Structure 1
Amino acid sequence: MATQDTRVALVTGGSGGIGRAVVRRLAADGFAVAVHYAGNADRAEQVAQEVVASGGRAITVTGDVADEHAMAAAFDAVEAAFGGIDVVVNTAGIMVLGPVETFDLDAFDRMHRTNVRGTFVVSQQAARRLRRGGALVNVSTSQTRAQHPTYGAYVSTKAAVEGLTLILARELRGRDVTVNTVAPGPVATPLFFEDKDEETVARLAGLVPLERLGEPDDVAETVAFLAGPARWVNGQVLFANGGLA
């Protein structure tokens, strides 16, 4: 069990590209970390073992983020292992692209279940359980502002995340808990590369004034800022995108 002075973080989607970088970054800051996964237990365990091998503390927890009972059990497991929760980082999400006119509604529903209901369920648990001085960090996308074609269905889920975040920050008045969203630009993760050819990837990278894709560590650095020293940043959407307009 973590000591009373140790801060504790739960990272949903913690075995994925951005999630894994966030786990590593928070562990480097001294957090005890719970690595959440939905389907890949081996990969989540590998991430946790990397933290332990580096001298940190980590466990894995599982569950569908959209299932309130599963996520309550996951939060219970973190509290049982470490004594409480100070930071929740909600990186779990899926992305399917396509024009609105022909978009498959089953894919639309799947995205909304994970990205909207899942974020709501996790945020609800965080609102109930985060200790004073805690932080909830949700994840959106810079496409809510860039508004490129084929992102309509995906952006509809992330715009909901942003709206939820801004209201929850105000509902938690007096709790000393911050609620913010990070909105990454194009980041080199498996989720980003899915269904994109080399020409599309190069074009998106070229839209960024820094002329490169972001790395998961770039986003993790922003998350660490919100999870730790950024106590005066609350109810905000931070665009971590290298200047993408």
Structure 2
Amino acid sequence: MPLSAYDLTGRSAFVTGAAGGIGRATAVLLAEAGATVHCADRDAAGLHGTRALIDAQGGTARIHPLDVTDRHALRAAVESAGPLHVMAAIAGVMHTSTVLETTDADFDRVFAINFKGVLYAGQQAARSMITHGVAGSIVTMASGAVDAASPGLLCYGVAKAAVVQLTRTLAAELGPHGIRVNAVAPGWVRTPMTQRHEADRQRRIEAGMVRLSPLGRVGEPEDIAHTVLHLASDASCFTTGQILRPNGGVAMPW
């Protein structure tokens, strides 16, 4: 496959969660590959920061301050993007509580953002692609939490497992339209979402992840962004319904 397979020049991409972390890194990389990138997030200030990074490298970005749980706002933003070639549904939150501590409010909030937000993004992207006859790519964000029981991450793990099943269902339904749908399930990545502990505990957590990884390090947002680019591009033109796991080898499921 030639390197030109990664060229997204002339294509339109939509990235949710683009104000920081993996979403920002993905938006910047897709723009570097030539796409016009539509950046969505409820953090308007963060979106302006992402657009500044894209502008600085000569790319093109549009920003859409919105909440991914607002189906109507997301639909309007996607429609404004014109014919869509790539959807990267990355927006998400992490919540920590044991099974016995978890409340309805905890579960509803995490599920709304981590699952419904991905569902809505996938629906709107599919409508755009089908309407405009685009054989596009939808990339969802799962997690390494789908491969093992993670104490304290009930809401997060359940929502991400639902994203995996959503991805497979979308792939099966949209394949006849030429639309590919795949999930990325990262391991531990150094992002604002994971850097929420006090310094000593943070160091212990990351040291534990480093020991588990054959590569001897934790992930960076750019590591995951490159996986998204692969799935978004023609380089993965025969890949759909799959879960790619950029996790440093921490988990190696069949």
Alignment TM-score > 0.5, same fold: yes
Structure 1 unaligned blocks of 5 or more? none
Following superposition, the deviation at residue 101 of structure 1 comes to 1.8
Partner residue, 1:114: 113
Per-residue displacement from partner, 1:129-177 (whole Å, max 9, x unpaired)?
1252310000000111032222222100000000001011010132111
Identity %: 37
One of 218, 225, 231 as aligned partner of 2:223? 218
TM-score (norm 1): 0.92
Following superposition, the deviation at residue 54 of structure 1 comes to 1.4
Q: Could you say what secondary structure the match of 2:194 adopts? A: helix
Partner residue, 1:19: 23
Q: Could you say what secondary structure the match of 1:146 adopts? A: coil
One of 64, 68, 72 as aligned partner of 2:71? 68
Q: Which amino acid aligns with 1:182?
A: V
TM-score (norm 2): 0.89
- Aligned equivalents of 1:205, 1:36: Cα separation in 2: 32
Q: Could you say what secondary structure the match of 1:75 adopts? A: helix
Across the aligned residues of Structure 1 and Structure 2, the Cα RMSD in angstroms comes to 1.6
Q: 1:88 and 2:87 equivalent?
A: yes
Q: Could you say what secondary structure the match of 2:171 adopts? A: helix
- Aligned equivalents of 1:97, 1:211: Cα separation in 2: 26
Q: Could you say what secondary structure the match of 1:153 adopts? A: helix
Contact 1:146–1:244 (CA under 8 A) maintained in structure 2 = no
Q: Which amino acid aligns with 1:61?
A: H
Q: Tell me the number of residue pairs that the alignment of Structure 1 and Structure 2 aligns.
A: 237
Partner residue, 2:96: 97
4+ runs deviating over 3 angstroms: none
Contact 1:193–1:201 (CA under 8 A) maintained in structure 2 = no
Partner residue, 2:236: 230
Q: Which amino acid aligns with 1:168?
A: L
Q: 1:203 and 2:208 equivalent?
A: yes
Per-residue displacement from partner, 1:20-67 (whole Å, max 9, x unpaired)?
1101111111111011111x2122012112212211111101221111
Following superposition, the deviation at residue 77 of structure 1 comes to 2.3
Following superposition, the deviation at residue 235 of structure 1 comes to 0.6
